[in-house]
Amino acid sequence: MPKYLQISVSLDDAPNPIERTLLIPAETDLHQLHYYLQLAMGWQLSHLHMFITAKGNFSDYEDDFEPGDELLEFDVPVTEVLNGNHRQIKYLYDYGDDWMHTIKLEESVILPADTHVKLLHAVGVCPEENSGGVHYLRKNSQKVDQERIQSLLQRFYTLTVLQGYGQQPAFIACMDDEEVPFEFGLDEDNDFSAAELAMIAALHEQFNHDIYHAINQRFSYATLNDFNRDPYGHEPYRIAAPADDMARQAPILQALTPLFDAFREGPVKLTASGYLPVKLVKAIDAKLHDPRIPLIQESQFEKVTSESKSTAVAVLRHIVCLSPLVKEYKTKIELTAKGRKLLEADKSGEIYLALLQSAFRKFNWGFIDYSDECPLQQSVAEVMVLQSAVAPELEIIDEAFYASLSAMIPALDEEPVTTSQWTAPTPNHARVLHFRRRYVYIFGLLGLWTHNATDSHLASLEPRRVQVTPLCRNLIVEDS
């Protein structure tokens, strides 16, 4: 009969006990245990983690650019680090908030083979992701939904151990209560046949060919060659102000309506912390519940009580303040003479153009995913507008846009990238993830792309279908 481990898990220094007791098969490795802990505690698999043990520190992350001292946790049995000699280890989750857990071996037992994974005890609800760490927690008397946790653990065990699915797609399926998502990737570990791989490669090649042909017909390849020679200083073509009616439909202008209305009354006073007034923040956030840009709300994990709690509102504030429309002071923000003139004349097209140029050329896109790496991805935004403008009028997977862009701008695939936010298998894959989040976010906000909503638990990490808008297709002046 198989051996099982009874382990207790507690969140260190929490103001009230947050604890779980689990029964797991003794042959469980640390990587599988990581997923059990995420499900049992209530975390969302959104950050890096590490096991701290007497045998060394283990994680599933390997940085090719800055190798660390951590060992890989794959195929390392729990019993190797948690046994009679070492009955306690630590589990650190989220290197920013530093949620430290203590894992103790309570006992080893022999049980029937169909015991699988059990939740024996649970107390205390899990903190919210990105809530700052234990120092910001308050006592919470909510009861834990033990039935749901047990159901998640059982399904995850069935999918991974009994049916052989990968841990990440199984985790997503459990959290979303759906079938295991399709794992797409052109690598040797997927299940595609040679014929299917050839067909996928052919589709990518045809898409790239169509894009290049259209650009060459309308603008000539010379614009791209010039851009490659001077990617940070050359403007390959000119973007013009769109028609006022078209600009007014862009999510960015609609979301900024409350701020512009406030400017009509005079300067906007900032809070003592230097933020927009809470009433204004909530009004802007309400406008961002736009079905054309669902990633904005899918990425909003906290209740919006100030500008500091809403990345999207903070992004808008930065874009506006970097534009020639307003002047920012320590205690207030007010319109410039140009901004007031355009606002009073209701020149929505010119206002939009000023914001678009601010977003492309001045705002640091790294603010969205807490990184200042890959500035070239931002500097080629205008080439992405060009590529989008000539793309077929149908839904296109965001990865196809990135692949086509990187083929036109070869340096894009050579630029270093920080992978601190991603547990990606290769640096190139990390670049694609950065692209996805940044371009879908910014192009959606600017009304250049619309994209589909998803209930997926890890939506920002997954491919997304985007549609190029008429606004995007009408921005470029072809006679430049």
Report the pLDDT value the prediction gives residue 20, as an integer from 0 to 100: 97
Mean pLDDT of 326-348: 96
Residue 443 has pLDDT above 70, yes or no: yes
Tell me the per-residue pLDDT of 217-263, one tens digit each, with 9 for 90 and over: 776 656 666 666 666 666 656 788 999 999 999 999 999 999 999 99
Over residues 265-285, the mean pLDDT reads 93
Q: What is the mean pLDDT of residues 98-125?
A: 92
How far apart (Å, rounded) are the C-alpha atoms in residues 275 and 277? 6
pLDDT average, residue stretch 301-330 = 91
Average pLDDT score, the chain: 83
Please give the average per-residue pLDDT across 311-337, as a whole number: 95
Q: Is the pLDDT of residue 54 over 80?
A: yes
Under a CB-based contact definition with an 8 Å cutoff, are residues 290 and 316 in contact? Answer: no
Enumerate the domain spans of the chain. 3-176, 195-248+364-480, 259-289+302-359
CA distance 460 to 119: 30
- 237 sits in the region (left: phi over 0; alpha: psi -120 to 50; else beta) called beta
CA distances to 21, 55, 318 from 18, rounded to whole Å, are 11, 26, 38
State residue 227's pLDDT score.
65
pLDDT at 416: 54
The two structure tokens encoding residue 479: 């006679």
Task: Identify the band that residue 90 occupies on the pLDDT scale cut at 50, 70 and 90.
Answer: very high
- What is the rounded CA–CA span in Å between residue 35 and residue 291? 32
Q: pLDDT-derived band of residue 61, with 50, 70 and 90 as boundaries?
A: confident
Mean of the pLDDT values across residues 347-352? 97
Side chain identity at 292, as an amino acid letter?
R
What's this model's pTM, rounded to 2 decimal places?
0.59
Confidence of residue 4 (pLDDT cuts 50, 70, 90): very high
Q: Is the pLDDT of residue 92 over 70?
A: yes
pLDDT at 81 exceeding the cut of 90: yes
Encode 35-57: b = buried (16+ Cβ within 10 Å), e = exposed.
bbbbbbbbbebbbbbbbbbeeeb
- Take residue 86 and report the two structure tokens written for it: 């070492």
Query: Do residues 351 and 256 lie in contact, with contact meaning Cβ atoms separated by under 8 Å?
Result: no
Quickly list DSSP for 340-376: HHHHHTT-HHHHHHHHHHHHHHTS-THHHHT----HH
| Average pLDDT rounded to a whole number, residues 322-332 | 95
Looking at CATH, the fold of the domain delimited by 3-176 is given as 3.10.290
- Please check the confidence at residue 122 and state whether its pLDDT lies above 50: yes
pLDDT digits (tens, 9 = 90+) for 161-178: 887 777 877 888 888 765
Which whole number is the average pLDDT over 308-330? 93
